[in-house]
Amino acid sequence: MAESEGLREQIGTILAQYAGEHRLFWIAQPELAAHRAEDLLPHLVLVDDELSSMPAPTIIRQLVVSVPNAVCMVMVDERGMAIARQAVLSGARGFVTKPLMAEEFWITVHQLLTQNQVPDQDISRTTKIGKVVVFVGPKGGTGRTMVATNTSIAIMEQTGQSVVMVDADYAAPALDVVLNLEGDRDINTLLARASRLDKDLVSSVLANHSSGLRVLLAPAPVYGTLEISLPQVEQIVSQLRMMFDWVVIDLGALLDESGYAFLDSADYIVMTVVPELVCLRNTRLLLDQLQARGYPEDRVWVVLNRAGINGGVSKSDIEERLHVRVRHSIPDDQPLVSLSVNRGVPLYISHRRSAVARAIEEFAVMFVSGTTKQPAVVESPKEAPAPASNPFSRMFRRISSTSAAR
């Protein structure tokens, strides 16, 4: 945990030189540290003493309770011995002084980790930890939900692994309509029991899609804005990670800190953009926000949707003007996308041979191979028939049932 970009880079360089294979995570918000640590189960936690929102000893005290088997170490200024003593009294195993000396830093870390070895140390061997992928858009209308839904099904079919989707667009939820799902339970059922979640409760709330996809629905939009706290987000995502290989979150507008809490839980962020100027301006602003909050650039994948639309900005111009790499492009076929949404059948299932479905399939293969060591296997499923229900009845049935219940 550090707000200094220079300190982050220095620690990353030292660990790359001395530590061998490792995974390094940075937490942008100190108040999420304890919950994120419970999620990641780290061997080592480094805390800088120069955090604006919370004193280092307070953070250490929370971390010791959350992850008692982890080594907590504080990094202090040469004149900060008082803070170092408080941190050790709060449960830190040791401290190092800044500016960091590479060899001294690594010797201290190595000694503390060696002393902390216990027989049952490798918790990851018995605990299933899935990957979290958050789909986000710089504005509405980028096709975020369409890309997220079809990519989820493609990943599930290609890898044979379990996938759960979370509808986190509480102002304008869409997964129930896009996937033709009925359900009288949603995330509201879990919020009151967020600190006491278990597999059976969560599984009972998830909706089932015919493809095998599981979905945590958002409340019907008649409820208005959903109040969800940062700890609740962390607890729910953490439980889902232990139950599924992939957790795909369809995130709405970043209106409050709960949105960033979902982003903090992400292993990867996929940003869907369309080739028009308002969206591209907002894309640059959102990328700058993510960078300022410490999200690594290599974990943010920009995907161009509706590529080739008449009058649209070209991929090369987008990359040149925004100084960003566009990872993949999905061609424009708005009539097919609208048909897919109205039928409630993802086009990856219903129109597998279409250019859009093939592009999503290619993206899923690229994403799986780029984020894991597992190769993807592509199979050709039969095209699904349209559901018998009318699209308007599907759109309004959850609202009607909710209103009747009230």
Q: Which CATH class is domain 5-125?
A: alpha beta
The residues, any chain, with a CB within 8 Å of residue 262's CB and separated by 6 or more, are 134, 168, 233, 237, 249, 251
Residue 44: how many other CB atoms lie within 10 Å: 17
User: Angle 56-66/33-40 helices, nearest 10 degrees?
Assistant: 30
Strand order in the sheet with 71-77: 44-48, 71-77, 94-98
Interatomic CA distance for residues 49 and 110, integer angstroms: 21
**CATH fold match for the domains 5-125 and 131-400:** yes
Instruction: Assess whether the previous peptide bond of 346 is cis (omega < 30° from 0).
Output: no
* Straight-line distance from the first to the last Cα atom of the chain, in angstroms, rounded to the nearest whole number: 45
Q: Under CATH, what is the fold of the domain 131-400?
A: Rossmann fold (3.40.50)
Rounded to 5 degrees, what are φ and ψ at 133?
-120, 125
Extract the tokens encoding 310: 């008449």
* pLDDT given for residue 122 in this prediction: 45
Interatomic CA distance for residues 264 and 171, integer angstroms: 20
* pLDDT given for residue 233 in this prediction: 87
3-state helix, strand, coil in the chain (%, to 5): 50, 15, 35
* pLDDT given for residue 32 in this prediction: 84
Give, for all 406 residues of the chain, the pLDDT tens digit.
Answer: 888 889 999 999 999 999 887 888 888 678 888 877 876 778 899 999 998 888 999 999 999 988 888 899 999 998 888 999 999 999 999 999 999 999 999 999 999 998 876 444 444 444 568 999 999 999 999 999 999 999 999 999 999 999 999 999 998 999 999 999 987 899 999 987 776 788 999 999 999 999 999 999 999 876 556 778 777 888 899 899 999 999 999 998 887 778 888 998 899 999 999 999 999 999 999 999 999 988 999 999 999 999 999 999 999 999 999 999 999 999 999 999 999 999 999 999 999 999 999 999 999 999 999 887 565 555 555 555 555 555 555 555 555 555 444 4
Question: pTM for this structure?
Answer: 0.67
Widest Cα–Cα separation across the chain: 72
Residue 314: how many other CB atoms lie within 10 Å: 12
- Using alpha carbons only, give the angle 259, 264, 265 rounded to the nearest 5 degrees: 100
* pLDDT given for residue 371 in this prediction: 84
Interatomic CA distance for residues 172 and 183, integer angstroms: 17
Interatomic CA distance for residues 172 and 175, integer angstroms: 10
Interatomic CA distance for residues 302 and 269, integer angstroms: 8
Per-domain boundaries in the chain: 5-125, 131-400
* pLDDT given for residue 379 in this prediction: 56
